[in-house]
């Protein structure tokens, strides 16, 4: 242990503790800006000391030291809030503002900008140094993410998220001093880099230097068009996250309120991606059984997380034959809306406009993939272009609800519309890491054994551990499964698959984001480790509450097989619900 004095108080902390943490223990709050305790997972920290907002005076040292990354020393005497320290912090912030555009009223982060908040907290009222305003071009080359380097304060949180958490490493620090900026590797437009569109950079960016692409205007236009029949689907993770923005506790189940809000926004029908998650389980579960019985490529990998799909295409193309051919639930609902639903309702599929509400920035990229046009091929009609026309992130839906003046927290609960509105508990847990696997096991066990599963909860695959493992005996075969979340964890598993070390495993679930979709790049900010954990709690509580908790027992899924698809992996399923990735 080390004992030091902070603002006159003696504090004893373990060796290696930073001044910032020791001060916290002494009840002293030092302001921070670039510091991030946990980038997505508890073991990934960001303490580069770049912003120098957390500086303190240490007796005997000539210069101020940044408290976030300076370890304590025996006998150290620290002063955190002397007039000199306060003035230094303010000056550091003023330097940051001196070349900033200060277009706060129209900034996408207006009201939730950490730079704005810290300036308010530290009572910054003037900008003495005057620098030349930055003049970088805005990079909107990605369908998911917009980079505005003029708003970059070089905190480098995005670099840690991309390089350490996700091991994608698409961003770099370039230049120095006033000219320093974070940019895509080699100065390329983002779309030309290895970026997988996961949006973890946008979650940690304190300003609007990296944000989701705003597509809300396309949805307003579609709703205003009387010719269009505009339907919307809501992802599993959104059921427990949208409420945060309206003051409800993190993890609150706001399903009924979200449906009510979407109806008030003017959507013609409100459907649930949970319905198509159940459909995915039918197709993916049967695919797994088929691979096991027929000597197919194993382990099978899940395919619903588009950031993960881009990651495997980019870094492990040789392993693509392991990836399930199932499209994601988002991309299953789209073509079904423009075929089965269109037929049942007698609506011209050309007039159907499908909107998704997703926790994920990569879903925008997924929907824009050229092969995601199954309805067009089904009808042989080039006027139908995409299966899913627009993807909104959770944050965009929140903005639309605010724009429409809807008092979200006091809305009544309203039900989804029939045909694609029913979702089971199995589908609900798709939103948390391990959920797709657990849902698949609930169905595969009963299909293979013909017996009722004695216990529905597969606790081993739940929770925030990076890599989880379980095995289930099905008619004498021990089915072995693995689950990983975050692409850094996925990389660990992929290296083992490549080395032939996981040959006796059958199924691997990968979700690109820490915690699964509840921690997606399009979710409400902040998305900290604590938020992720509370959202996961909300997901499993909703699963427990639902009467039907297994995908194959969903009556609307049984209906689509009876009336339209006929059987899992059948002809229509292949036309509409499956795809192939080319190595």
Point out the residues that are catalytic. Answer: 284, 287, 304, 324, 363, 366, 371, 517
**Residues within window 490-519 making contact with ligand HC1, judged by CB under 6 A:** 516-517
Cβ–Cβ under 8 Å, residues 387 and 331:
yes
**Using the rule CB under 6 A, is 572 a contact of ligand HC1?**
no
Which residue in the shown chain puts its C-beta closest to ligand HC1? 517
Cβ–Cβ under 8 Å, residues 507 and 291:
no
Please give the Cα distance from 78 to 8 (Å, whole number). 8
Give the strand pairing for 171-174 and 181-184: antiparallel
CB of 403 to ligand HC1, least distance (A): 23
Q: Which is nearer to ligand HC1, 88 or 517 (CB)?
A: 517
Please give the Cα distance from 91 to 86 (Å, whole number). 9
**Using the rule CB under 6 A, is 330 a contact of ligand HC1?**
yes
Q: Which stretch binds ligand HC1 (CB under 6 A): 78-86, 358-366, 367-375, 473-481?
A: 358-366
Q: Which residues are CB-neighbours of 547 under 8 A, at least 6 positions away?
A: none
Please give the Cα distance from 472 to 479 (Å, whole number). 5
Select the residue interacting with ligand HC1 from 46, 52, 322, 363 (CB under 6 A).
363
**Using the rule CB under 6 A, is 277 a contact of ligand HC1?**
yes
Select the residue interacting with ligand HC1 from 166, 193, 305, 361 (CB under 6 A).
305
Q: Which is nearer to ligand HC1, 149 or 522 (CB)?
A: 522
Select the residue interacting with ligand HC1 from 40, 199, 299, 329 (CB under 6 A).
329
**Using the rule CB under 6 A, is 358 a contact of ligand HC1?**
yes
Please give the Cα distance from 531 to 522 (Å, whole number). 14
Q: Which is nearer to ligand HC1, 193 or 273 (CB)?
A: 273
Q: Which residues are CB-neighbours of 489 under 8 A, at least 6 positions away?
A: 466, 467
Nearest by Cα to 359 from 327, 326, 387, 391: 391
Q: Which is nearer to ligand HC1, 206 or 434 (CB)?
A: 434
**Using the rule CB under 6 A, is 286 a contact of ligand HC1?**
no
Q: Which stretch binds ligand HC1 (CB under 6 A): 144-152, 194-202, 232-240, 286-294?
A: 232-240
Cβ–Cβ under 8 Å, residues 202 and 307:
no
Select the residue interacting with ligand HC1 from 143, 206, 236, 285 (CB under 6 A).
236
**Using the rule CB under 6 A, is 359 a contact of ligand HC1?**
yes
Q: Which is nearer to ligand HC1, 255 or 328 (CB)?
A: 328
Assess whether the previous peptide bond of 198 is cis (omega < 30° from 0).
no
**Using the rule CB under 6 A, is 388 a contact of ligand HC1?**
no
Q: Which is nearer to ligand HC1, 219 or 360 (CB)?
A: 360
**Residues within window 429-468 making contact with ligand HC1, judged by CB under 6 A:** 430-431
Please give the Cα distance from 59 to 73 (Å, whole number). 12
Residue-wise DSSP of 278-294:
HHHHHHHHHHHHHHHHH
Cβ–Cβ under 8 Å, residues 264 and 412:
no
Residue 49 CA neighbour count, 13 Å, CB half? 13
The residues of the shown chain that bind ligand HC1, judged by CB under 6 A, are: 235-237, 273, 277, 304-305, 328-330, 358-360, 363, 430-431, 516-517, 520
């Amino acid at each position: 242990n080390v004992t030091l004095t902070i603002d006159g108080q003696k504090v004893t902390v373990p060796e290696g503790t930073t001044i910032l943490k020791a001060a916290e223990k002494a009840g002293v709050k030092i302001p921070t800006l670039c510091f991030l305790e946990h980038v997505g997972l508890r073991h990934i920290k960001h303490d580069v000391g770049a912003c120098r907002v957390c500086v303190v005076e240490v007796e005997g040292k000539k210069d101020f030291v940044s408290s976030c990354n300076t370890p304590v020393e025996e006998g150290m005497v620290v002063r955190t809030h002397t007039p000199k320290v306060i003035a230094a912090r303010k000056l550091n912030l003023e330097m940051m503002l001196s070349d900033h555009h200060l277009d706060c009223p129209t900034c996408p982060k207006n009201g939730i900008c950490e730079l704005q908040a810290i300036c308010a907290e530290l009572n910054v009222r003037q900008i003495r140094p005057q620098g030349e305003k930055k003049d970088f071009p805005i990079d909107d080359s990605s369908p998911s993410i917009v980079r505005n380097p003029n708003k970059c304060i070089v905190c480098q949180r995005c670099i840690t998220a991309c390089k350490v958490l996700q091991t994608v490493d698409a961003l770099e620090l370039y230049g120095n001093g006033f000219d320093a900026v974070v940019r895509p590797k080699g100065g390329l437009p983002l779309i030309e880099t290895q970026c997988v569109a996961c949006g973890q950079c946008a979650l940690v960016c304190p300003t609007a230097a990296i944000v989701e692409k705003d597509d809300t205007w396309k949805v307003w236009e579609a709703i205003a068009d009387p010719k269009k029949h505009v339907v919307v689907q809501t992802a599993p993770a959104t059921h427990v996250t949208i409420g945060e923005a309206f003051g409800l506790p993190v993890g609150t189940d706001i399903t009924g309120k979200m449906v009510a809000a979407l109806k008030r926004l003017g959507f013609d029908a409100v459907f649930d991606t949970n319905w198509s998650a159940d459909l995915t389980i039918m197709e993916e579960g049967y695919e797994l059984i088929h691979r096991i019985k027929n000597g197919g490529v194993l382990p099978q990998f899940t395919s619903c997380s588009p950031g993960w799909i881009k990651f495997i295409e980019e870094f492990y193309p040789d392993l693509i034959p392991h990836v399930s051919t199932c499209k994601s639930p988002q991309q299953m609902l789209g073509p079904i809306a423009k075929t089965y639903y269109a037929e049942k309702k007698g609506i011209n599929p050309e007039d159907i406009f499908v909107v998704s509400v997703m926790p994920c920035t990569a879903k925008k990229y997924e929907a824009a993939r050229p092969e995601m046009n199954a309805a067009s091929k089904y009808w042989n009609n080039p006027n139908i272009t995409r299966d899913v026309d627009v993807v909104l992130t959770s944050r965009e839906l929140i903005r639309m609800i605010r724009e429409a003046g809807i008092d979200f927290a006091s809305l009544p609960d309203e039900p989804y519309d029939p045909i694609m509105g029913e979702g089971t508990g199995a589908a609900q847990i798709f939103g948390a890491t391990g959920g797709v696997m657990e849902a698949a096991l609930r169905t595969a066990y009963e299909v293979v054994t013909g017996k009722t599963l004695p216990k529905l909860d597969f606790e081993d695959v739940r929770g925030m551990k990076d890599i989880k493992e379980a095995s289930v005996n099905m008619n004498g075969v021990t089915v072995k499964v693995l689950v990983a979340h975050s692409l850094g964890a996925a990389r660990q598993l992929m290296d083992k698959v490549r080395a032939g070390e996981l040959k006796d495993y059958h199924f691997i679930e990968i979700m690109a984001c820490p915690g699964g979709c509840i921690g997606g790049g399009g979710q409400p900010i902040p998305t900290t480790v604590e938020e992720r954990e509370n959202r996961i709690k909300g997901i499993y509580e909703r699963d427990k509450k639902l009467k039907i908790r297994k995908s194959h027992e969903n009556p609307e899924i049984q209906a689509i097989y009876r009336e339209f698809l006929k059987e899992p992996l059948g002809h229509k399923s292949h036309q509409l619900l499956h795809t192939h990735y080319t190595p």
